[in-house]
Amino acid sequence: MTYFYIKALHLIFVVTWFAGLFYIPRLFIYHIEAAEKASPEKEILTAQFKLMTKRLWNIITWPSAILCTLFALTLLHLNPGLVALPWMQVKLVFVALLWAYHIKCHLIVKELQRDEIKYTSRFMRIFNEVTTLILFAVIFLVILKSAVNWIYGVVGIFVLGILLMLGIKLYKRIREKNPNA
C-alpha cells in the first residue's frame, strides 16, 4: 500500500512540476515583450513579471521537481527491477532531458532577474514546446510500457511539434494584423 501512496505523490508532483515548466516560458515571453515597451509601462510590467517568475520558480517549480524526483527514486528503490526494463531506461533518458530543460530555464530565470535578455519572444514560444514533447514521450512510454512502440508516439509528437510551430507562425501573423489578439 505504501508503494501506491508514494506513486500517487510522485504523480502529483509530476503534474505540478510540468505546470511550472509549462508556465515559466510564458512568463519569459511576457517579460521579454515588456522590456520592449516604453516607460513607465516597461518598468511596471518588468517588475511584475520578475516577481511572478520568482514566485512560480521558487515556490512551485523547484520544490515540485525535487519532490517528484525523490518520490521517483523511492519508487525505484522499492521496485529496483523497473530499471532493467527497456521502456524505463528510455523514460529515464527523457527525465534527464527534462532536468536539462529545467536547468536551462533556471539559467534564463536568473538572467531575466538581472535584466539580461538573450532570447526573442519567438524563440521562447518554440522553446515552450519542449516540455510538451517530453511529456508526450514519457506518457506513451509509461502507458505502453514498450521501448519500441513508443516510437509511434514520438513520431506523432514530431508531427504535433510541426503543427505547433505552424500554429505559432499563424498566431504571429494574426497578432501582426491585430495587435490586441
Q: Which residues are annotated as a binding site for heme?
A: 10, 91
Question: Rounded to an integer, what distance in angstroms lies between the CA atom of residue 181 and that of residue 178?
Answer: 6
Note whether 62 and 105 are within 8 A (CB).
no
Question: What are the binding residues?
Answer: 10, 91
Q: Hey, what's the cell of 111?
A: 538572467
Query: What sign for the dihedral angle of Cα 76, 2, 145, 100?
Result: negative
Per-state percent for the chain, helix, strand, coil, to nearest 5: 85, 0, 15
Cα 79 to Cα 67, 75, 162: the distances in Å are: 18, 6, 38
